[in-house]
Structure 1
Amino acid sequence: MNLDNLLQNAGSKIHIKDPGKLRTVLQQYLDDGHHLLQILTDFDRTLTKHSSNGELNPSTHAVLESSGLFSADYRDKTTNLRNKYYPIEMDPSISQAEKEELMIKWWSTAHKLLLQEEIKKADIQSVVKESSVKFRNFYENFRSVICARSIPMLVFSAGIGTIVREIFLQKSAYRLQNVEIISNFLHFNNAGVHDGFEGPLIHTFNKGRTSHLNKEYFTRTAKRKNVLLMGDTLGDLEMGNNLDSDKYNIVKIGFLNDKNEQNRAFYVKSYDIVIEDPESMEFVFKLLCCLLNVKPEDHLEEVDSKSSPCSAKTNGPVHARALTCPSPEAEISGIVCISPTGVTAQE
């Protein structure tokens, strides 16, 4: 499938704001090749599913909030917070200035409640293992393509970075290959007990004011002028605020997951491409294949997330390169997870 066929036959769940302008920008992507491409993406319900068969997929905060390791009081209070503030976060009729104040209150209160639970560093693996969080369908295929070509992916999450990191390690065959993370990382004391957070608070609507804190990544990728930006809220649009629009070609892809009828017009006005699918990123995978002149069938083989991708079966040399990765130890010890302070978060 070529790019024109993909765009023209996208289906009723794919909305394109300005087809002509988008086609022009994507042609530039095609001409430039993978060496000038980078991915800038949200995590919760963008790379992961929003829901599956009507059941909500947990965010990284909810992974902790639903864990049996913590008190019922903690679970009840955080659930009440989510029920109160989540509708506000997703309501396009409320101004961003008003939302910001409320989001700070939500995040700060939730983080204070978590601090009281005295979570241990050793508990993180089991908390993620017992959770039902899942990556979107075609996520591993998408990662196969970008890992084959060493295309960097910066994950910018207002969730819990420590949980984001562990989800990559446990639930993706490609683990942390070519991934860097800006997020709210848990800080642990010498006894391995959570005692605070690293760096400033990141919430849904201040990503544009905190992305510059990771200068090292943006300096290193400055020549990659073509940016696929992906998010599921209007606040995620700000992830690219520090990128000069005269230099960078940014294509913004939004996943419309909630109150679609109410929110659709706002999303189509703000994003270049809007996808109404709570479970899959198939369109993004196929778009990436078109942009890189890759055959989708070369990256459709399933990879077991519990095994190393290095040992998976391949369908030819391109797929074999997609499964080339450092050892798990190298991935963990390398500079892969970046806190808002720019300090590498490692074991």
Structure 2
Amino acid sequence: MSDIVISNKEKLKRKKERILEDGIDSLFVVSDFDRTLTKHFSETHKVLSLVQMLREEGYLGEEYTKKARGLFEKYHPYEIDMTISFEEKNAKMEEWWRTHNQYFIDYGLNTRVVDEMVKKRKAGFRDGAIEFMTDLHENNIPLVIISASGLGFVIDDYLEKNKVFYKNTKIITNYIEFDEKGMAVGSREPVITTTNKYLAAKEHMSELKNINGKKKNIMLLGDSYEDEKMANSFFHEDILKIGFLNEKVDERLDDYKGAYDVVILNDGKMDYVIELLDELK
């Protein structure tokens, strides 16, 4: 099986033709971050998110680890359940995120621990992602990153360290608030989860008006089934959706084909996305 799956070739062709007709100046990109712009696997191992590192590697003590695992066991089945309603899943995800944010405060999350994890984490950009982001910058194509990461504020630093935090980039994510001693004391609203990214974007529309007021076509990149909805708050005429199905391909492919125009399998490279962007110029 090819690592590139086109859900409907005629539909994709029509979308590309309309975007070409409107011109590249009509386009902006909405993308997830973890496991979309970054790799899902490092060599043979699954890359842990920072929250997963906190939960599994004992940074905040045994009691935190026990409670955080309990939350995962309770709520993760809802997160991956394709049969329950959006309303039920969204409510469960918000319960999970808000409870976990309180654990950050209760169990002493601090900037020293975050810095230590960032240095240790083996996450890397997906092959071609830096080239893709640089291409967007050079062609004045806005990039809106919407991330549900519980510690999403590290995305800013990660982009800066890799010299790709360009002026065309806007990040919408979760920010933990720290006091003068570096201790977690709260989190900013709205809380962004895997299911409500489009609602979070809606909260930022005043900041995004220079993008969404002038651009009418979207290229969307995501790795979860719910990511395909994250641009729903944006005005658009055409939206070209690309999904990264990094694992459990046989189990999930049909659902992803129903959600995305193009599905890239097995933690694949960004080559297709780069070629597609070149076609649209």
TM-score by length of 2: 0.89
Aligned to 1:255: 244
Residues 74-85 of structure 1 mapped to structure 2, 5 A cutoff: 74-85=64-75
For each residue in 1:264-308, what CA deviation from the matched residue of structure 2 results, as whole angstroms up to 9, or x when unmatched?
A: 11111111111113252222122112222xxxxxxxxxxxxxxxx
1:136 is paired with a residue whose SS is coil
* 2:120 equivalent among 115, 130, 150: 130
Q: Which SS does the other structure have where 1:40 is aligned?
A: strand
CA distance in structure 2 between the aligned counterparts of 1:77 and 1:238, rounded to whole angstroms: 31
Q: Check if 1:191 corresponds to 2:181.
A: yes
Return closer, same or farther for 1:46/1:60 CA change in 2, 3 Å cut-off: farther
2:276 maps to what in 1?
287
CA distance in 2, matches of 1:117, 1:17: 46
- Compared with structure 1, are the counterparts of its residues 148 and 66 closer, same or farther at alpha carbon in structure 2 (3 Å cutoff)? farther
Identity percentage of aligned residues: 31
Q: 1:87 to 1:14 in 2, by over 3 A?
A: farther
Equivalent residue number for residue 164 of structure 1: 155
The residue correspondences of 1:239-254 to structure 2 (distance < 5 A) are 239-244=230-235, 247-254=236-243
1:111 correspondence with 2:101: yes
Q: Residue type matched to 2:227 in 1?
A: D
Deviations 1:143-177 (A, max 9, x none): 1211212221111111122122222233x231354
Contact 1:36 1:223 in 2 (8 A): yes
What's the TM-score, normalizing by structure 1? 0.73
Q: Gaps spanning 5+ residues in structure 2: where?
A: none
Residue 255 of structure 2 is matched in structure 1 by 266
Q: CA deviation at 1:83?
A: 4.6
Equivalent pair of 1:187/1:196 in contact (CA under 8 Å): yes
Q: Deviations over 1:177-208 (max 9, x none)?
A: 42211111011223332101011211111122
1:234 maps onto 2:221 in alignment: no
Paired AA for residue 105 in structure 1: E
Alignment length, in residue pairs?
279
Tell whether the 8 Å contact from 1:60 to 1:164 is kept in structure 2 after alignment. no
Provide closer, same or farther for how the CA distance between residues 195 and 176 of structure 1 changes in structure 2, counting only shifts above 3 A: farther
Q: What do you get for the CA RMSD once the two structures are aligned?
A: 2.3
* 1:220 equivalent in structure 2: 210
Rate the CA distance shift 1:149–1:224 in 2: closer, same or farther, 3 A.
same
Amino acid at match of 1:212: K
Matched ranges for 1:167-186 at <5 A: 167-170=158-161, 172-186=162-176
Partners of 2:75 and 2:250 lie apart in 1 by: 20
Q: Does the aligned pair in 2 maintain the 1:60–1:163 contact within 8 Å?
A: no
Change (3 A) 1:149 1:64: farther
Indicate the residue corresponding to 1:48 in structure 2. 38
Query: Are residue 27 (structure 1) and residue 21 (structure 2) matched?
Result: no
1:272–1:126 Cα change, 3 Å: same
The letter for the 1-side match of 2:234 is L
List alignment gaps of at least 5 residues for structure 1: 1-10, 293-347
Q: Deviation of residue 67 (structure 1)?
A: 5.9
Is contact 2:7-2:258 (8 Å) kept? yes
Confirm or deny: 8 A CA contact 2:219 2:239 kept in the other structure. Answer: yes
How much has 1:71 moved relative to structure 2?
2.3
Please state whether the residue corresponding to 1:240 is helix, strand or coil: coil
Q: Return the letter of the residue paired with 1:278.
A: D
Aligned to 1:209: 199
Q: CA deviation at 1:79?
A: 3.8
